Amino acid sequence: MSFHDIVHAVLEFIKEHEAWAPFIVFVLAFLESIVGLSLAIPSTPLFVGVGALIGASGLAFWPIFAGVALGGFIGDWVSYVLGFRLKDRVLGWEAVKSKPQLILRTQGFVQKWGAAGVFLGRFVSPIRSFVPFVAGMFLMPQLWFQLANAASAIVWAYVLLAPGAALIRNYLG
């Protein structure tokens, strides 16, 4: 099954199970935000596709937006806690161990930019789920982390969903 087939199958599933769409996108955003799993979950094309699906099928925007934002927020929080409490064990996970350069790159990014790095890191695909992990690992104060986490989750969800929803609904619909 190709990457395109997976995205198409997920979008079809969401379309067929409209009432569950906010929960489905919550789970996808949550899993995508867990350290190492973002490498396996194609969130950007998936959520852009969900945005287009919203515009084309009339799905309600705000519940889906809330699902994506909340899933991303909680997923990053879990990754932060994993970094804070279990860093040595998580570093042994195959998905993490196979990408040691990502940890080093992300560490430099977070140390240089701090909370702004947490915000910006959500939008950088290769390091997306590693940023909260590294922030926890290197003891970024939780208040600064959570402020950046909440703000970036809201902006991230909107940036991924709104353009497709608006374009399809207003110009092509």
168: amino acid identity, one letter: I
Task: Give the position of tokens 């969401």.
Answer: 14
Sketch the domain layout of the chain as residue ranges. Answer: 3-172
pLDDT in tens, 116-147: 999 999 998 778 888 999 999 888 999 999 99
Question: Where does residue 136 rank: exposed (0-12), middle (13-18), buried (19+ CB within 10 A)?
Answer: buried
Length of the chain: 173
**Which one has a higher pLDDT value, 65 or 16?**
65
Instruction: Report the C-alpha gap between 124 and 127 in whole angstroms.
Output: 6
pLDDT in tens, 24-80: 999 999 998 988 777 677 677 888 888 888 888 878 899 999 999 999 999 999 999
Task: Give the position of tokens 């196979």.
Answer: 98
Q: Is the pTM of this model over 0.85?
A: yes
Residues 6 or more apart in contact with residue 73 via CB below 8 angstroms:
149, 150, 153
